[in-house]
Amino acid sequence: MKTVQEPHAPLTGPALPAGRGDLSHGVVRALRSDPGDEIRLPSRGAADEADPYGEDLHLALYLCYELHYRGFHDVDSAWEWNPGLLGLRAGLERRFLDALRADTGRGTGRGTGLEDAFAGILVEPVEAGGLSGHLRDEGELWQLREYAAQRSLYHLKEADPHAWVIPRLRGRAKAAMVAVEFDEFGAGQAARMHSRLFADLMRDLDLDTTYGRYVDVATAEMLAIVNLMSVFGLHRALRGALVGHFAAVEVTSSPASRRLAEAMRRTGAGEAAVHFYAEHVEADAVHEQVVRRDVVGGLLEEEPWLEADVAFGIHATDLLDARLAEKTLTAWHDGRTSLRGPL
């Protein structure tokens, strides 16, 4: 039996969330045990029958990935590299990535056009829609709170998933990536870290700033967005896709942040809530140029065969963002919560 005195069983970190199906229940059950015990995990092929965008698969995958970040309360750190759990994770990843490649129409074969990928995200319609447009024009404070609660799954660890790619890059791409990440991490000042600024935003919205607090109410669509960053970041073979994802985030961030800052002002959300997005309007406008010119350009100068992977990362990001927007706006237009449960 495991004891809390064991050096590899930290009492820090968020609590384990409730499972949402056989896969995630199986992972939760395993993580509550000692990694040396005889625990039956879901089979490696169990993911093959799961919805690749569904609640069960994405919570199971999220649980596996969080072991590489902050872990969970009273979960033995040795689970991070448990062979059985890694095998299950590989099956979950395969199911997710296969679906993304099919649904974006983008494999990783040579010749997939990067220009087309950027064209889809560089030009906005005159009246930008989506989540940020709705929140700017007619969003209510309760909707802003729901949006922030979901986004906290990423923003409370903002830039962490992208840092995985740094040792996989070299030359101009690496130097530029580090420069952008330096800004994301507050340029050496803890109070200016973007994750800290988002926690301040959450306080203005009367939300709990505890890391992982809102996993239980987050939708599969939000979990998939966070998981995309992790699967790209944790696999060297997907370094091009991670760079594409990062480029998509930086290209679209500044105009969306401007709309969200306006939403926060209009609803009287608070000074810190406005500041988080106002900060991103200026910073990400600069980052966009650096990422496109030096991170993407530097990578493809060194490894031109990764162009299709970069394009795949952009298209996959766009696809998952659209799924979250559609799910959330449908709920709000029906006058109901977009979350799995009340805040």
The two structure tokens encoding residue 221: 């669509």
What's residue 109's pLDDT?
A: 45
CA torsion sign for 96, 97, 100, 105 is negative
Averaged pLDDT, 153-179 = 97
pLDDT in tens, 289-303: 899 999 999 999 999
Averaged pLDDT, 70-92 = 95
Q: Evaluate if residue 12 carries a pLDDT over 90.
A: no
Q: Which residue has the higher pLDDT, 126 or 140?
A: 140
Q: Evaluate if residue 277 carries a pLDDT over 60.
A: yes
Query: Which superfamily, per CATH, for 109-333?
Result: Heme oxygenase-like (1.20.910.10)
Q: Evaluate if residue 252 carries a pLDDT over 80.
A: yes
Amino acid letter, residue 15: A
Instruction: Please tell me the pTM assigned to this model.
Output: 0.92
- What's the CA dihedral at 96, 97, 98, 103 to 10 degrees? 90
What's residue 283's pLDDT?
A: 72
pLDDT in tens, 172-211: 999 999 999 999 999 999 999 999 999 999 999 999 999 9
Taking the C-alpha atoms of residue 59 and residue 215, their distance in angstroms, rounded to an integer, is: 9
What's residue 242's pLDDT?
A: 98
What's residue 13's pLDDT?
A: 85
Q: Evaluate if residue 318 carries a pLDDT over 80.
A: yes
Which of the listed ranges 39-53, 104-118, 260-274, 276-290 does the model predict with the highest average pLDDT?
A: 260-274
The two structure tokens encoding residue 282: 């200026």
Domain boundaries of the chain, sorted by first residue: 22-102, 109-333
Tell me which H or E stretch contains 25.
helix 22-31
pLDDT in tens, 85-119: 999 999 999 999 999 999 998 654 444 588 888 87
Taking the C-alpha atoms of residue 168 and residue 88, their distance in angstroms, rounded to an integer, is: 25
